[in-house]
Amino acid sequence: MRQTTVFFVLLAAVLQSALAGAGAIAAPAAAAAAESVPNPTNAQVYFIWPQDGTVINGGKFWLRMGLRNMGVAPKGTDIPNTGHHHVLIDTELPSMTEPIPNDRNHLHFGAGETEARIELPPGTHTLQLLVGDMNHVPHKPPVVSKKITVTVR
């Protein structure tokens, strides 16, 4: 079912791009970049795995992310009620009015991934999910998970 949803989101993005190129849809890029994209008020982002308190042996693991009441779409996709995942590692929430940073503490999944193999060094780490719009800016209101703690041995 997840593959079907991703297929239709991508198909919609291709169709929208084709229509925009034909002049059927006009939206200035500067205006889109300056505003946060609204989202459904009941949208939720969450960790499928790991869960709060999980102990991970070896440091490498599959991170699985969920999103409810919104669609997942690659960066640059201008479709209402969609966005893509960002994982915040050992950091606080960034600005809610600027693009989410892209560094070792802010992992971007701009291709629309809902799972990824990541590696953390030994120790205790916090993880939090934040959904970004087509320009990596958090939605308004932000779609953010609760912060979880994992231990790597």
Q: Is the model's pLDDT at 137 over the cut of 70?
A: yes
- 95-109 mean pLDDT: 97
* Cβ-based burial of 88 (10 A; exposed 0-12, middle 13-18, buried ≥19): buried
Start-to-end Cα distance in the chain: 35
Helix (H, G, I), strand (E, B) or coil at 43: coil
Count up the domains in the chain and report the number. Answer: 1
pTM: 0.77
DSSP one-letter string for 84-108: EEEEEESS----SSSPPP-BTTEEE
pLDDT value of residue 74 = 96
Cα dihedral sign for 66, 58, 109, 141?
positive
**Banded pLDDT at 40 (limits 50, 70, 90):** confident
Distance CA 148, CA 52 (A): 5
Residue 98, pLDDT score = 97
* Section 102-117 average pLDDT: 97
CATH code assigned at 29: 2.60.40.10
Q: Quick one: which of 110, 104, 105 has its CA closest to 133? A: 110
Q: How far apart are CA 64 and CA 72, in angstroms?
A: 13
Q: Is the pLDDT of residue 112 over 90?
A: yes
| Segments forming the whole domain that contains residue 31 | 2-152
Is 128 a residue whose pLDDT tops 50? yes
